[in-house]
Amino acid sequence: MVTEDWPAELWLDDADTTYQRVWQALSESAVFGADALPAIAQARRSIDVR
């Protein structure tokens, strides 16, 4: 199977393992609660709302 995934197109022999690694990478970089507020504020400032 071939799938386009984060961050690139991948050939998947074991899709479960690949998605687990992607989920692990995303969950390790996630922030929650009060720690998330600066990231949210920065994202809001980067949006051009003209």
Tens-digit pLDDT profile for residues 7-49: 666 666 666 777 788 888 889 989 999 999 999 999 999 997 7
Domain that holds residue 19: 2-46
Closest by CA to 21, choosing from 6, 1, 3, is 6
Closest by CA to 18, choosing from 33, 32, 7, is 7
Kindly provide the residue ranges of all beta strands, DSSP E only, lying in the chain, ordered along the sequence.
2-4, 9-11
Structure tokens at 12: 């998947």
Residues 13/15/19/24 CA torsion (nearest 10 deg): -60
Please provide the distance, in angstroms rounded to a whole number, between the alpha carbons at the two ends of the chain: 43
Q: Could you tell me which residue, 4 or 13, shows the higher pLDDT?
A: 13
> What is the number of domains present in the chain?
1
